[in-house]
Amino acid sequence: MKLSALADTGGDLIWAKCGACVRVLRAPGLAILLPRQSSSLSKLPSRSEGYLHLSSETVTLGGDAMDGVGFGCTTMSVGNFGRSSGLVGLGRWPLSLVSQLDVGAFSYFLIPYTDPTAKPSPLLFGSLATLTGAGVQSTPLLPSVTTFYSVNLQSISFGSATTACFGMVFDSGTTLTYLAEPAYTAAKDAVLQQAAALPRAANRHGFEACFQASAGGGGSGSFPAMVLHFDGGADMALPTANYMLEVGARRDGVSCWGVQRSPAAGTSIIGNIMQMNFHIRYDVDRSMLSFLPANCSIV
């Protein structure tokens, strides 16, 4: 059967909702894996009890079928996964799809969430995950005992102000970007200073730098440029829509700096909104992350 799943570079497990989920936010038309209807699924011996079972299955991506891919089958799922039936971990640990397929590299284009066509974002593996040409920039992946892909973010520029930073995790499965202290407060103060000419708006939904100005259309030029400076001289100049977000359903012209204080001490994350309209490549074999601006809506 055909399932959709969230691709998560911050996770290492592959799992799907299966059977009669007892706790699941289920979207209309959401596919659920039914083990009895699969001729290739086999339950693996493990200590799993209750709601999670380890299994192996023949998985088809595009036109390629791969036998014996290990994944978790759960009858209990909480959280909002939209129209996805599960999650595909792309992290560094052995159970991730990247490790099980031993592809060496993968890349993706993240289409803006505001794109009216609702096209899927391409995910490429192995020899298809190429990134070449003028403008490609690269930064080393830091050695890690975790599944995360961490890089050294040396500093952040907002307009003419630059603040120091430290290691950050690229995570396609996290929506917002989070900065740990003291980097968060320093960066937020720089935002408020550089955007002082804009009328302030009340903070909302956890965002602490909001302005009465639109992040789209003619108002986009009002916000100072934001650039991420990585180790190795790689500079990621962000489109305004990647860091100034129109927050709330009221459409009242309020835009907020799309970065929040990290709830986990010492952990900073670059989420998927900040990665929109970039082609991002993870070279797992050579421990290198590369990126290139791209109009992902026409890929």
- Domains with residue ranges and CATH for the chain: 6-102 (2.40.70.10), 137-298 (2.40.70.10)
pLDDT for position 283: 98
Of the candidates 22, 159, 171, 14, the residue with the CA atom closest to the CA atom of residue 85: 14
pLDDT for position 44: 54
Beta carbons within 10 angstroms of residue 280's beta carbon: 23
CA distances from 279 to 134, 140, 249, 292 (A): 13, 16, 29, 5
For 201-234, the DSSP string reads ---BTTBS-EESS-SSGGGGGGSPPEEEEETTS-
pLDDT for position 25: 47
pLDDT for position 47: 53
pLDDT for position 277: 95
N- to C-terminal Cα separation, the chain: 27
Rounded Cα distance between 86 and 144, Å, is 26
Residues marked as catalytic: 8, 171
Of the candidates 174, 213, 166, the residue with the CA atom closest to the CA atom of residue 191: 213
Rounded Cα distance between 213 and 200, Å, is 9
pLDDT for position 194: 95
Query: Tokens for 171?
Result: 């995570």
pLDDT for position 24: 47
Judge if pTM exceeds 0.95: no
Query: Tokens for 97?
Result: 């799809």
CB-side exposure of 118: number of CA atoms within 13 Å? 1
Q: What is the pLDDT of residues 174-230, one digit of tens each?
A: 999 999 999 999 999 999 999 999 999 999 999 999 998 865 544 445 799 999 999
pLDDT for position 262: 96
Residues of the chain with pLDDT under 70: 1, 19-53, 76-83, 118, 214-221, 249-251, 299
Beta carbons within 10 angstroms of residue 61's beta carbon: 13
pLDDT for position 102: 92
The 3-state secondary structure of 260-289, one letter per residue: EECCCCCCCEECCCCCCCEEEEEECCCCEE
